[in-house]
Structure 1
Amino acid sequence: MNNKILNRVVFIAIVTLVVSCKPKTEEVIVDKEQIKIEIQAIENKMAELFNDRNINSEEYYAKDATSFSQNKPPIVGKLAIRKSIKDDLANFPSGYQIAFVVNEVHPSNDGIQVVEIGNYRVSDSTSTALYTGNFIAVFEKREGKYVCIRDMSASDRPRLESKTEDKKE
C-alpha cells in the first residue's frame, strides 16, 4: 500500500513538473483595422514627402529594403531607393500631386509583418487625375514602428510603344 501511495505521489509530482515547465505562449491579438490606420498614416507621410519634393527626411524604407519599379532592375538599399525617387521627382512636373490609398492589409499572426495592397493617384494642380496605379508593400515592425522592406508598383497607364517596335509592324 505504501508503494501505491508513493507511486501516486511521484506520478503527481512528475505531471505537475511537466505542466509547470511547459513554456507559456502569449496570445497576440492583432488589430487589423488599427494596423491599416498605421500603414495609411505612413503612406500619407510618404505622399506628403513626394509632394513637397523632400525625400531626404523620409523614414518609409528599411535600410535593407528592395524596391521593384517599372522599367528598372530591383533597387536594393534605402540609399539607392532614395536616389531613385529623387531622380524620378526631378521629372515629376511642378504642381503634380500623388496620393496613396491602403486598400487591404494582411498582417502576420504576430503583427510583425504586414502585406499592404494599395493604389495611387497622380493629379495635376487642379486635382484632375492624370494617371493611377497599384502597389504591394511588405512592412516589418522594427524598433516599434513599421518600415517597408519590399515594394512593387504598376501603373495603369498604357505602355508607350517605342519607335523601333512600330517599325517592325
Structure 2
Amino acid sequence: MKTNPFTLLLAVVAITSVCVTGCNAPTQKTEPTTEPIAAKPDMTVIKTEIQAIETEWANATTAKDIDKVMALYADDAVEMADDEPMSVGKAAIRQVLLKSMKARKAGTTVSYETMDVYGDGNVVTEVGKTTIKDPAGNVVSAGKYMGIFEKRDGKFICIRDINNEDQKDK
C-alpha cells in the first residue's frame, strides 16, 4: 500500500493536535485566598481607657501612694524621668518616684491629660501633658510625657515612660 505524504502529514498534525489539546486542558479556577483583615482598634475607646489609667495615676501620685502608682507599671518597665538616669524595673522606678514625691510640696495636685494615642490595640503609645498645681490652684509646673502601654491579661500596663518639665524653676 502506497501512502500519500499529504495523508501522513495530516495524520501527524491531527495526533499532535489531540495531544497538545489534551495536555493543555483548562485548569480549574480556584478562588484566591485572602487573609482575614483584623479589625482596626477603636482608638477613641482606647484613649478613654488610657485617660482613666492616667487619672488613677494622678490621684495616686497626688496622694503620694507609691504602691498604687507602682501597680500601674509592668515588672519589666523602664522609666526615663526628667534629670534622672534611666530606671529599669520596678525597684529602680520606685526609688526615683519616691524621691520625686518627697520633693513635691505638700498640698500640690498632679493631673495628666491624654492628648493622643496610637497603636495596634495591644501596644499603645500615649502622648500627654502633666500639670502640677499648688493648693490655691496655680500652676507650679507643666510638662509632657510619652507612655507605652501593653495589654497584658486584658489590661493595659505601662512598659515605658518618659517625662520632662517644660521649664525648670529658676
TM-score normalised by the shorter chain: which range applies?
0.7 to 0.9
SS of 1:47's equivalent in the other structure is helix
2:67 is aligned with what amino acid? N
Deviations 1:82-113 (A, max 9, x none): 22111211121110110000111112xx3111
Aligned residue runs from structure 1 range 144-163, under 5 A: 144-158=154-168, 160=170
- The aligned amino acid for 2:57 is M
CA offsets, 1:123-163, max 9 Å, x none?
A: 01111111101111111111111111111111012365xxx
What is residue 12 of structure 1 aligned with on the other side?
28
- Name the aligned partner's letter for residue 148 of structure 2: V
* Structure 1 residue 26: Cα displacement: 4.3
The counterpart of 1:139, out of the listed 135, 139, 149, is: 149
Over the aligned positions, Cα root-mean-square deviation in angstroms equals: 2.3
Query: Scaled by the length of structure 2, what TM-score is found?
Result: 0.77
Equivalenced residues, count: 150
Residue number among 113, 127, 136 corresponding to 2:137 in the alignment: 127
What is the CA-CA distance between 1:23 and the residue it aligns to?
7.3
Other-structure match for 2:111: 99
> In the alignment, what sits opposite 1:118?
128
CA–CA separation in structure 1 for the residues paired with 2:93 and 2:34: 42
The CA distance in 1 between the partners of 2:34 and 2:96, in whole Å, is 47
Question: Equivalents in 2 of 1:31, 1:138: separation in Å?
Answer: 17
Q: Partners in 2 of 1:84 and 1:70 — Cα distance? A: 10
Kindly provide the CA deviation profile for residues 16-66 of structure 1, in whole angstroms up to 9, marking residues without a partner as x.
Answer: 7xx5xx574242221011011001000000001011111113322111111
Shift of 1:114: 1.1
User: What TM-score do the two structures reach when normalised by structure 1?
Assistant: 0.78
- The alignment status of 1:56 with 2:70, answered yes or no, reads no
Q: Measure, in 2, the Cα distance between the counterparts of 1:85 and 1:119.
A: 17
The reply to whether residue 81 of structure 1 matches residue 97 of structure 2 is no
**Distance change in 2, residues 1:159/1:48 (3 Å):** closer
By how many angstroms is 1:74 displaced? 0.3
Gaps of 5+ in 1: 161-169
- Tell me which structure has the larger Cα radius of gyration: 2
* Rounded Cα–Cα distance in structure 2 between residues aligned with 1:159 and 1:47: 21
* Distance in structure 2 (CA, Å) of the matches to 1:57 and 1:119: 20
- The SS at the match of 1:12 is coil
Candidates 42, 47, 51, aligned match of 1:40: 51
